[in-house]
Structure 1
Amino acid sequence: MKIFIIGLWLLAQGLGLVAQAETLERIVAVVEDDVILERELNQEVAAVSAKLRSSNVMMPPDFVLRKQVLERMVIDKLQRQLATRSGIQVSDEMLRNSVADIAARNGMSVEDFQQELSRQGLEFKKFEDNLRNEIAVNQLRGREIGSRIKVTDAEVAHYMETQSRAGQTNSQYRLGHILIAVSEAASASAIQKAKEKADQVVSDLRAGKDFKQTAISVSNDDNALKGGDLGWRTLSQIPTLFADSVIGMNQGEISDPIRSPSGFHIIKILEIEGAGQHIVTKTKVRHILIKTNELIDDNEARKRLLTIIDRLKAGEDFATLARTHSDDKGSAINGGSLDWVVPGALVQPFEEAMNKLEINETSPPVQTQFGWHIIQVMARESQDNSEQFKKDRVRDEIRKRKIEEETELWLRRLRDEAFVEVDMDRL
């Protein structure tokens, strides 16, 4: 039997200590009807600390780091709870496919991937549990936020015109971000206090204080433990709130605090670079898929495809064999044709095998999370896709920016409306 201890909250529940020999599990936070244990916090802090050290980032004071890590754990737990209440479930098949995809992206089989995790001291079961939670949270965000986000052709055209007039068409920015959060229900004095804190942070940064270290120590944003690094973005992907400020800033410059419903934002331009012509190589490709199941294992699937390859070498028609044998019914009716595909449209193992083939060449059996394939390249062509690429990228980035803005507000509301009690003595 385990006893959970958290000061007065424990007493309010009418729980007491029994025998000293019993295992003590100390609670560091109560999150709605669940808890975060001190042991769990210690494990997460150790993992984050190791990652920060490997990135050569100066470590913040232990109390500051533990507070930041705990806040991230609280937000994660609240999202998982909401996903459960919303009836979101991740099937075992979906989990297996996701694991296979991750393994394939790392150039490994699932078995090799499990062994690699073990060598790194990670339990595969825990990895699966974390991945299942991550998938559920992503589905929750898609339902709560993504499904409501629309990008019109007019928005894309307006943005490209505005961007062109500003002379910023080819620019990309690597941004640093610090958020001093303010509750939507905050009083005027609380808002003023947050503003003063943001002003002081800006003053310290402009005086030479390290941005990453400051973000880790004071930022309330999800990227705080990454040193506030938002990565590379075009202007269309930068939140609308920041875009006007960014256009007028130089590399290394720090913005004044920018007010939003979430609080006060501080932006630093870490790097700026241009983007050139975009040439895309399209491939016309067809395939035959054999799925694995309880009756067909990997060896049997490969054996069937090798037999089909022998028949192709003997002169039989690829399209006819695809219609007869392929388990991809959508392409089978078209002789296995996937038509013209662009880079990134297919799963990585398939695309890598396809890119190695000459015109009319057929691959050996290739495994993806969908099963086993043989692939044949029918044609290739390169074209200047710059204009369409820009439009597609702008549309995608406007959508990402809208999702990011809505997610920030959604997470802040979720946190503000939840019952969370933290035992500060455990930090």
Structure 2
Amino acid sequence: MVKPFMSRLSRSALLLAGLTGLASLPVPPAAADGVDRIVAVVEDDVILESELQKKIAAIRQGLAQSDTPMPSGITLARQVLDRMILEKIQISLAEKSGLRVDDETLRQAVQQIAQKNNLTPEELRGSLRAEGIEYPDFLEQIRGELAQQRLRSNQVNSQIKISDREIQNWMETRGKSGADPNAEFLLGHILIATPQAAQPAAVQAAREKAEKLVADLRQGLDFRQASLSSSDASEALKGGELGWRKLSEMPTLFADLVPKMKKGDIQGPIRSPSGFHLIKLLETRGGDVQRVTKTHVRHILIKPNELITNEDARKKLETIKTRIEAGDDFGDLARGNSDDKGSAVKGGDLGFVAPGALVPEFEQAMNALGPNQFSDPVQSQFGWHLIQVLERQESDDTEELLRKQAQDEIFKRKLAEETELWLRRIRDEAYVEYRIPELAPDGTPPPPPAKPEP
């Protein structure tokens, strides 16, 4: 039987908003006087019981369709609340850092979601309504997710450094694992976290919990259910799935184990600064090296700042495009206007780039262009781009391409590790107070940390 279209839309659209994987959960009944109770205090914000109920109701259908066994309602409610707390913390940090998502950026994000589902924005709105999802709530989820992406880009991505030695080591060890370097693995992951500067007793308790979980899993406990009920990892509400990855894209502590595993095997506990990890090999798939089409591209970047609004940046690029179409030289305008100083001195030239080398928004627009064609202004996390494709060529898997692949895959590996550590750190440092005891991690509200003096 063909599933309703909106089933596919719900999973696609809500995944961007960070919502997929929740279910209808019982939470303590509302106060007798009908007052909307506070479930938790997070920094200077609060999470209301109605917010928790609404989020649960909004994606109930998604988890039911995935056929994931349900843990107890209160256990999953804690997982959902923990994710909401982490979202609030990130949004609070983004606001304090001045990382605000304007209406134009939000409009474009919604348009992209609609296009991926072959809908107009108006049809998307109607489809969400048919699913029982209020459009203003959907917009706020998208706005929050975009703010979190920008925050992580500023505080995590920008701090990752890759040395020439790391690239050389990657190239030297490529293929020595015995696995096809292009093979991909689908892993399940569970993290039993330990706080920063954890006391030995806390570390031992986490280890024992992880060891018991491994034993239960090997005796038949469903991995997705265990992730939903026990994991502290960011992908817990997706059943623990890490997605398809090559060995070179995995954290080092996993990559050394996976080639020796068979489908269904479980490894762990694996100690890291974040805590104790359990992994399960769900599926594998291989692939041959293919010829790669590289694109010679140049661009002009305009970044919004204190003096230039987001809309002003876009309009400035439209004016520049009009001048180019009237005969002005792209290179000269790039040298005089582009905020990408590295490429501006070369007339905006980025050289030949391989697939995956650029941010998705840029690459999607670039791939839609033919040689010598210009894009309309395209927004990415860096600002607004005017893109021109100069030419394309096919290339074998050369050393240059291998170095680029090494850099990309080392970055992805480090990003996963550093993001997990960063999320644990900001959670540990944040002011969080549980107002409903049974929703606290251990069933009792911990004493809240003292808020620093302003």
Q: Output aligned runs, 1:202-217, within 5 Å.
A: 202-217=214-229
Alpha-carbon displacement from aligned partner over 1:56-86 (angstroms, at most 9, x marks no partner)? 222222112111000111111122222333x
Q: Secondary structure of the residue that 1:267 maps to in structure 2?
A: strand
2:279 maps to what in 1?
267
1:66 maps to what in 2?
77
Q: Which amino acid aligns with 2:284?
A: I
Q: Which amino acid aligns with 2:107?
A: V
Q: 1:273 to 1:218 in 2, by over 3 A?
A: same
Q: 1:155 to 1:126 in 2, by over 3 A?
A: same
1:411 maps to what in 2?
423
1:100 maps to what in 2?
108
Q: 1:207 to 1:405 in 2, by over 3 A?
A: same
Alpha-carbon displacement from aligned partner over 1:191-249 (angstroms, at most 9, x marks no partner)? 22222221111111112222111111111111001000001122222112222222322
1:34 to 11, 31, 45: 45
Q: 1:265 to 1:100 in 2, by over 3 A?
A: same
The question of whether the paired residues in 2 share the 8 Å contact of 1:284 and 1:377 is answered with yes
The answer to whether structure 1 residue 155 and structure 2 residue 161 are counterparts is no
Q: Secondary structure of the residue that 2:266 maps to in structure 1?
A: coil
CA distance in 1, matches of 2:411, 2:51: 35
CA distance in 1, matches of 2:60, 2:311: 42
Q: Report the more deviating stretch, 257-266 or 332-341.
A: 332-341
Alpha-carbon displacement from aligned partner over 1:320-345 (angstroms, at most 9, x marks no partner)? 63549x99766999999887555455
Q: CA deviation at 1:270?
A: 1.4
Q: Secondary structure of the residue that 1:155 maps to in structure 2?
A: helix
The question of whether the paired residues in 2 share the 8 Å contact of 1:105 and 1:349 is answered with no
The question of whether the paired residues in 1 share the 8 Å contact of 2:99 and 2:150 is answered with no
CA distance in 1, matches of 2:117, 2:329: 29
Q: Secondary structure of the residue that 1:165 maps to in structure 2?
A: coil
Q: 1:414 to 1:109 in 2, by over 3 A?
A: closer
CA distance in 1, matches of 2:261, 2:396: 31
Stretches of structure 2 that go unaligned for 5 or more consecutive residues are: 1-27, 301-309, 441-454
1:321 maps to what in 2?
327
2:267 maps to what in 1?
255
CA distance in 1, matches of 2:345, 2:250: 43
1:126 maps to what in 2?
137
The question of whether the paired residues in 2 share the 8 Å contact of 1:323 and 1:334 is answered with no
The answer to whether structure 1 residue 173 and structure 2 residue 179 are counterparts is no
The question of whether the paired residues in 2 share the 8 Å contact of 1:88 and 1:136 is answered with no
Q: Secondary structure of the residue that 1:59 maps to in structure 2?
A: coil
Q: Report the more deviating stretch, 184-193 or 25-34.
A: 184-193
CA distance in 2, matches of 1:333, 1:425: 60
Q: CA deviation at 1:97?
A: 3.3
Q: CA deviation at 1:253?
A: 0.8
Q: Which amino acid aligns with 1:116?
A: L
The answer to whether structure 1 residue 235 and structure 2 residue 250 are counterparts is no
1:50 maps to what in 2?
61
1:350 maps to what in 2?
365
CA distance in 1, matches of 2:250, 2:298: 38
Q: Which amino acid aligns with 2:108?
A: A
Q: 1:332 to 1:118 in 2, by over 3 A?
A: farther
CA distance in 2, matches of 1:242, 1:35: 37
Q: Which amino acid aligns with 1:126?
A: D
Q: Secondary structure of the residue that 2:85 maps to in structure 1?
A: helix
Q: 1:88 to 1:164 in 2, by over 3 A?
A: same
Alpha-carbon displacement from aligned partner over 1:315-369 (angstroms, at most 9, x marks no partner)? xxx9763549x99766999999887555455646634542xx5x78x79x97866
Q: CA deviation at 1:412?
A: 1.7
Q: 1:411 to 1:109 in 2, by over 3 A?
A: closer
2:155 to 119, 131, 144: 144
The question of whether the paired residues in 2 share the 8 Å contact of 1:52 and 1:59 is answered with no
2:288 maps to what in 1?
276
Q: CA deviation at 1:155?
A: 0.1
Q: Secondary structure of the residue that 1:277 maps to in structure 2?
A: coil
What is the TM-score of this pair, normalised by structure 1?
A: 0.74
Q: 1:119 to 1:149 in 2, by over 3 A?
A: same
1:90 maps to what in 2?
100
2:120 maps to what in 1?
112
What is the TM-score of this pair, normalised by structure 2?
A: 0.70
The RMSD of aligned alpha carbons is 4.2
Q: CA deviation at 1:167?
A: 2.8
The question of whether the paired residues in 1 share the 8 Å contact of 2:261 and 2:281 is answered with yes
Q: Secondary structure of the residue that 2:267 maps to in structure 1?
A: coil
CA distance in 2, matches of 1:253, 1:398: 25
- The percentage of counterpart residues that share the same residue type is 41
Q: 1:99 to 1:386 in 2, by over 3 A?
A: farther
The answer to whether structure 1 residue 424 and structure 2 residue 437 are counterparts is yes
1:244 to 248, 256, 271: 256
The question of whether the paired residues in 1 share the 8 Å contact of 2:114 and 2:120 is answered with no
Q: Secondary structure of the residue that 2:120 maps to in structure 1?
A: helix
Equivalent pairs, count: 382
Alpha-carbon displacement from aligned partner over 1:395-419 (angstroms, at most 9, x marks no partner)? 1221222222222222222222333
The question of whether the paired residues in 1 share the 8 Å contact of 2:291 and 2:396 is answered with yes
Q: CA deviation at 1:180?
A: 1.2
CA distance in 2, matches of 1:337, 1:166: 38
Q: CA deviation at 1:128?
A: 3.6
Stretches of structure 1 that go unaligned for 5 or more consecutive residues are: 1-6, 8-16, 309-317
Q: Which has the larger radius of gyration?
A: 1
Alpha-carbon displacement from aligned partner over 1:245-301 (angstroms, at most 9, x marks no partner)? 22322222100211122221101111223332131223557999xxx979x99xxx9
CA distance in 2, matches of 1:180, 1:215: 10
